[in-house]
Structure 1
Amino acid sequence: MTTPSSLPAGHDALTDVTVLMPAYNAQDDVERTLASFVEHAPVRVLIVDDGSTPPIVAPTLPNLVVEILRMPQNGGIERALQAGIDALAARGCRYAARIDAGDLAAPGRLAKQRAYLEAHPNVAGVGMWTQVVSRDGQPLFMLRPATEPDAIRRLRFLRSQFVHPAMMLRVDAVRAVGNYRIAYRAAEDLDLFLRLMERYDCANLPELGLYYELNEGGISATKRRRQIVSTLRLQMRYFNVTNVCDWLGLAKNLLHLVTPYTALGRVKRALFATHSA
């Protein structure tokens, strides 16, 4: 495994950035995802192996420095991300760039997000627009959330404003608000973003940063009811009665609770396809 001291001299543009990827029994997806990073500087990666059997092996890829943090047993993405953030803080890392095994990074994503955070010190997290693709790589629809902090706050419950694996986060800000938590299972990202937005701004870059693989076996599908219940709990905790979008978002998630996943997927594809046309 390559170590930080063996990086080529002069290539320091991303030395304070680390890609944070939790993984569980996904060796092939891990390798495919990491191979997608194309940057003009070496890319550091921390894989949090959440009790995989067999254990995840660090792939040898050009321009990447890969380290693995092994969890003692499978404890879920919330604990894996919490441990990953703590490990990055201990290493002095400033920025954590999230991605999930199976997703692909657009070229230059890390440099663009880091430059934005460097220029906007009150922004704790910045995402990017995302192309959703099928398991065989076919484009399905684009996710173009709001870019400005005020719009994101207003629309936070009406429509998801961040694609979690497309985010770059300030490690110190994440820890300052309590890190990832297990209190809202399968909605750990929304929980974190809401806490961040109480103290900082969050934003999105209006350009493609990620190819998100729609996996019918992923958390959104297999733990859908738990995710919706956690989201509803968060909506009630942060509900703003003067914001009409909070009311509409509450109605939308109640509808999601009683709508079959396959039917909901078809509706989403149709709506996003129409919006993208």
Structure 2
Amino acid sequence: MMSSSLPPGALDDVAVLMPAYNGHADVERTLASFSEESPVHVLIVDDGSTPPIVAPTLPNLSVEILRMPQNVGIERALQAGIDALAARGYRYAARIDAGDLTVPGRLAKQRAHLDAHPEVAGLGMWAQVVTRAGAPLFMLTPPATPAGIRRIRFLRGCFVHPSMMLRIDAVQAVGNYRAAYPAAEDLDLFLRLMERYDCANLPELGLYYELNEGGISATKRRRQIASTLRLQLHYFNVFNPYDWLGLAKNLLHFVTPYRTLQWVKRMLFAPRAGASQGSRES
């Protein structure tokens, strides 16, 4: 098994990419969760926050702020962030969102895997979904292999976006993040990446994902599902039964209330009594 240990300075070509709109306290709490043997570089794309976000001073982190002149939305904020990191010479962008917490050593593990697998352009990890207070709700355990991801790409979420590490040159080669599919900019990017590269997941916990009732999945849910359906139709493979099942699933999601779906997920994936569960408290 490959070691995730990297020599000092080995994360110099990696930058954490965090788009943020207000939520100033969440920004610092999220960045404070990074724990790596090497210094961590961070680019916060401040998407028109009022007041503007101030770079927190945290041990082992260097934080830069890229300020958008006004609130332009996460799609354009991420696009600007990728371009800025490319201009600064970074090779990898590690995504995270304000409010989520990362597992120690995540960046070193992902970078080591991407270095060993140059055909992989995007690498995610599993995530523990938690309440804002940190209580575990359910696990997100997407498939690990590129073949498994391609097969069920529309039946279930195959990537946890804030857990991803991306090859910046590959992201730019396929057209970067874009606003063509509002609230589904991540799926749009991953599908374009998988036309030319592989994408995969490390099958281990890498992120504590905060279930946020004010997040995109809740507040822009119908727009997100509509964009997902458009992507499904664009990439639809009539010979893949999972594409048919995924289409039916998203049509069902379109007419099912968000809170009902969250209740179903909690019933299906909530930790059982006596089961081993990680805690985000350390």
Match of 2:21 in 1: 24
Which deviates further from its counterpart, 97-106 or 263-272?
263-272
Match of 1:271 in 2: 268
For residue 273 of structure 1, report the CA deviation from its aligned partner: 2.4
TM-score scaled by length of structure 1: 0.95
Match of 2:9 in 1: 12
Task: Spell out the pairing of 1:41-60 with structure 2 (5 A cutoff).
Answer: 41-60=38-57
Q: Where do 5+ consecutive residues of structure 1 fail to align? A: 1-9
For residue 274 of structure 1, report the CA deviation from its aligned partner: 7.2
Q: Does 1:133 align with 2:130?
A: yes
Instruction: Flag the 1:134–1:127 CA change in 2: closer, same or farther, 3 A.
Output: same
Match of 2:58 in 1: 61
Amino acid corresponding to residue 80 of structure 1 in structure 2: A
The structure 1 segments of at least 4 consecutive aligned residues displaced by more than 4 Å after TM superposition are 274-277
Instruction: Flag the 1:39–1:274 CA change in 2: closer, same or farther, 3 A.
Output: closer
Number of residue pairs matched?
Answer: 268
Q: Give SS of 1:52's match.
A: coil
Match of 1:3 in 2: none
Q: Does 1:38 align with 2:50?
A: no
CA contact (8 A) 2:47 2:68 kept: yes
Out of 224, 228, 232, the position equivalent to 2:225 is: 228
Task: Spell out the pairing of 1:250-261 with structure 2 (5 A cutoff).
Answer: 250-261=247-258
TM-score scaled by length of structure 2: 0.93
For residue 11 of structure 1, report the CA deviation from its aligned partner: 3.1
Q: What whole-Å deviation, never above 9, does each CA across 1:91-127 have from its counterpart, x for those lacking one?
A: 0100000000000000100000000000000100000
The CA RMSD measured in Å over matched residues stands at: 1.2
Q: Where do 5+ consecutive residues of structure 2 fail to align? A: 1-6, 276-282
Match of 2:278 in 1: none
Q: Give SS of 1:180's match.
A: coil
Q: Give SS of 1:80's match.
A: helix
Amino acid corresponding to residue 17 of structure 1 in structure 2: V
Amino acid corresponding to residue 243 of structure 1 in structure 2: N
Percent identity, aligned pairs only, is: 80
For residue 272 of structure 1, report the CA deviation from its aligned partner: 1.7
Instruction: Give the Cα–Cα distance (whole angstroms) in 2 for the partners of residues 162 and 237 of structure 1.
Output: 19
Amino acid corresponding to residue 84 of structure 1 in structure 2: G
Task: Spell out the pairing of 1:193-232 with structure 2 (5 A cutoff).
Answer: 193-232=190-229
Q: Give SS of 1:220's match.
A: helix
Match of 2:173 in 1: 176
Instruction: Give the Cα–Cα distance (whole angstroms) in 2 for the partners of residues 268 and 35 of structure 1.
Output: 29
Amino acid corresponding to residue 48 of structure 1 in structure 2: V
Q: Give SS of 1:250's match.
A: helix
Q: Does 1:106 align with 2:103?
A: yes
Match of 1:241 in 2: 238
Q: Give SS of 2:179's match.
A: coil
Instruction: Give the Cα–Cα distance (whole angstroms) in 1 for the partners of residues 247 and 272 of structure 2.
Output: 22
